[in-house]
Amino acid sequence: MPSYDIFFFGTLFFLVGVFLASFGAGIWILIITFAAMATFSFFALLIKRKMTLNEVKSIPIKHFFWLAGLTVFIVVGAVYYTRDDMHFQENVRMTFDEKTVFSGRIVSNPVLKSSSQEFKLELNKPLRGNVLVKTDRYPEFGYGDELKIGGKIELPFSESYGRYLAKERISGVVSFAEAEKIGSSLETPKEPLWGKIKKSLFAFKNRISESFQKVLPPKESALLAGLTLGERGEFSDDFKEAMSKSGTTHLVALSGYNITIIADTLMGLFGWFLIRRRLSFFVTVFVILGFVLMTGAEASVVRAAIMGILVMLAGEIGRFFDFRNAIILAGLAMVLHNPKVLAFDVGFQLSFLALLGIIYLRPAIMKFFRITEEKGFLSWRENLFTTASAQLMVVPLLVSNFGSFSPISFLANVVILEFIPVTMGFGFVMAALSFVSYHLSLILAGFLQIFLKFEIFVIEVFAKADFSFSSEAGIAAFLVYYAVLVGFIYYAKRHVRA
């Protein structure tokens, strides 16, 4: 078996083990492992006995034995998750449901809302662990601030919310907390340089967000901050609902689409300044890494950055780019860092499924319906099939996590995606101008409002035309759905002529 197949199946079985262990399927992991090993070995022996020697030589029978051996990685994945979870639980020492006073350090960029702010707090001794603190909007706190907190540490209100917080390494929630700043860990000489760099990046991000608010109306500045920085704290509840109904929430999730725009823009800009391509590559990678940190290193952004860098690297070294192994490598990197994201991070799952849809389902659809690669006016054809492929791939996930799905989101995305690159590009230019001259950024803001108002109009119009449907389909129905998609991809690839 080729080394790239060994890597793929070994990693795949490892991820299966992590996923099963996430839901406590201990004994079932062993059963599935040995059942898979027995099945692969059985088919290998069956083929060997039923076929002639010449026919056997033409069949890669040893692949079955390789697969049987690689299923051991299911157990490896399960052990890795279990060990990580035990380490997480052992590092939690706090008292729940008792009002108390404690101190800690902010280890995230605070999310500012209209009347409140929330952040992740790392507790100081004698307590240990992380909690999510929700407190008043003012005074504003920042990354690295040492706080004294008065309040009650509570367990998450539901099991699903608890899993969501656990993947962020958070064990409890403190609501309506009384917070007082008592210092900053970044002011001490012992604080690592990494923490100071991260604080500077967060400050830079907040400065950009504030520049949007100074020159744009509230709704427009909130949307622009969402598109360019992934900030959703200033979104009103009505606008969040409108984005959800219109199927456009992913636009402010800093997906691979956003990262691709940033990378392409930077490479083009460096090329315009006649900078060598190799140097442009390394500078772009450095900027993307800084951008990931600046936006809080959300799972979808990290995944998009890893994939984007892999694509750029493949282009630089001039080798054939294997999307299958690149995708699973990106997943492995994130799961090794935090095994809980595989089962409990919806954004992580949506990003990967959407990417699989674009890479595998989109070509199959275009080949099946014999559609040419011509982009059409304003690339409407490319956006239509890209959006449709991604949406079809994530339908079960949307239904299982949000209880509904809107078919009209296909059209909403085709209309609005035409203008997102221009909006993001001018948004970054306006942010750069704000560091030079307020009046220059104000002039560009007037032009940028045209695009932002149109995008808001599209979102709200499609939200009113609500055609979403709900479903209580079980896992069996979802497996059948994906089996049909895989069958369609296989049929289009093998039996449909281009």
Q: Which residues pair with 153 in a beta bridge?
A: 174
Segment 205-208 long-range contacts (CB within 8 Å, at least 24 positions apart): 205/109, 205/229, 205/294, 205/295, 206/109, 208/431, 208/434
Q: How far is 215 from 449, CA to CA, in rounded Å? A: 10
pLDDT value, residue 353: 82
Whether the pTM exceeds 0.85: the reply is no
Please enumerate in sequence order all residues whose Cβ is within 8 A of that of 279, keeping only pairs 6 or more positions apart, or say none: 270
pLDDT value, residue 320: 45
If pLDDT is split at 50, 70 and 90, which confidence band does 473 have?
A: low
Torsion angle, alpha carbons of 420, 424, 430, 434, to 10: 140
- Beta strand 130-136 with 172-184 is parallel
Mean pLDDT to the nearest integer, 365-390: 68
Contact 21, 81 (CB under 8 A): yes
Q: What is the pLDDT of residues 119-138, one digit of tens each?
A: 999 999 899 999 999 999 88
Q: What is the pLDDT of residues 18-38, one digit of tens each?
A: 988 888 776 666 666 667 766
Segment 427-435 long-range contacts (CB within 8 Å, at least 24 positions apart): 427/212, 427/224, 427/227, 427/228, 428/228, 428/265, 430/211, 430/212, 430/215, 431/208, 431/211, 431/212, 431/228, 434/208, 434/211, 434/214, 434/215, 435/211
Domain edges within the chain: 3-90, 99-191, 203-495
Domain 99-191 sits in CATH at: 2.40.50.140
Q: Which of 85-89, 96-100, 121-125, 289-293 has the lowest mean pLDDT?
A: 289-293
Mean pLDDT to the nearest integer, 182-192: 70
Contact 426, 444 (CB under 8 A): yes
Determine the Cα angle at 137 with ends 132 and 139, to 5°. Answer: 100
pLDDT value, residue 118: 92
CA distances from 149 to 99, 120, 161, 182, 271 (A): 10, 12, 23, 10, 51
**Residue 41 pLDDT > 70:** no
| Coil, helix or strand at residue 70 | helix
Q: How far is 189 from 443, CA to CA, in rounded Å? A: 43
In the chain, what percentage of residues exceed pLDDT 70? Answer: 74
Mean pLDDT to the nearest integer, 86-107: 90
**Residue 445 pLDDT > 90:** yes
pLDDT value, residue 154: 92
pLDDT value, residue 311: 63
**Residue 17 pLDDT > 90:** no
